[in-house]
Amino acid sequence: MSGLTLRTPLLTRDAEGLFWMARYLERIENMARLIDVTQTFEAPGREAEAWSALVAINADEDGLATRGLAMGAAEIKRFYLLDPSNATGIPASMEAARTNARTLRPLISTEMWMQLNVFHRDVMAIAAWELDGDALSRLCRRIKEGVQAHTGITEGTFFRDQGWHFYELGRLIERADQTTRLLDIKYHLLASGTAEERRVVELTQWNALLRAAAGYHAFRRVAQAGFVPADVVAFLLGDTSFARSVALCVGQMDWHLTTLRTRYGLRDTAPVLERIEDIRAALGSPAPEELHEFLDALQRDLAGLGELIGTMFFRDWRPLKAKPDDRTAPGQSQMQR
């Protein structure tokens, strides 16, 4: 073993590529989950409201408007599943993930590369007839399983060096961001309307929220009394036993950065670790009337954390202009999208 170099420095462009490959793939799975539960639990007569929430989660109102698309179910499904020019859609994210993987070919396993190519072909072959009814549910399941296959192959084959840590940082920050967006928009819809309307939709809509976050069964294990809104909020934000909670994602980011600093000598980690600690300290149980503002602030903090990672560790980083309403789309403030 003495002849091996165990800690070869990682090029910044490769660190950035791994970070973003993971973000794009995480984004694909989250989008498939959102589309699936939006269709499954849309209320009769309120379809437009349900699908417009999906657009709001991704701050894509302008993207639809510039294409002259109506805020209808059919248009929104095509926008996210067929439009390669939509940066937050599944085809664009898939293309970007594979492009990054191609540049990283010497760093990722053969199994990872082969599965990504098969998955890429599947996503790029999505047809219009798959966007309705049971076919859409099957499509979303296939997309989720494609990302999950990648995740499993990566877990079993990716060498645990600096590259793996940057890959995990990208996956975790995207997951935390998507959880806050899901909770913000869905909670807003559930909290609106009359008391009677809320009573009627409460069970199915909270069910939808938890299933979108892959947390339905986990939540039932810790809260057997039912779908109490405050408990769902606390679970998605702060339960460190739940894989998609903001608290767990941020805590794991802290561990990966600390390992990069202590084992690999990564410099300039202190400002990033301080930002992570600030986010962890801010997590709590906001009052219902304060939740929207709380989540907006948390989304800005996560966007700022992503920008700081870019500033500290990646090449030629430059932020893009934020949207006027400060609801930045996922990845919009980064070099890549």
Highest-confidence segment of 134-138, 265-269, 312-316, 322-326: 134-138
Q: What is the pLDDT of residues 97-130, one digit of tens each?
A: 999 999 999 999 999 999 999 999 999 999 999 9
Using only C-alpha atoms, what is the Rg of the chain? 20
Q: Report yes or no: 24 and 96 within 8 Å, Cβ to Cβ.
A: yes
pTM of the model: 0.88
Average pLDDT over residues 79-83: 97
Q: What share of the chain is helix, strand, coil (3-state, %, to 5)?
A: 70, 0, 30
pLDDT at position 102 is: 96
Q: Among residues 146, 129, 113, 107, which one has the least CA distance to residue 16?
A: 107
Range name among 137-151, 181-195, 209-223, 263-277 with the lowest pLDDT average: 181-195
Distance CA 303, CA 330 (A): 8
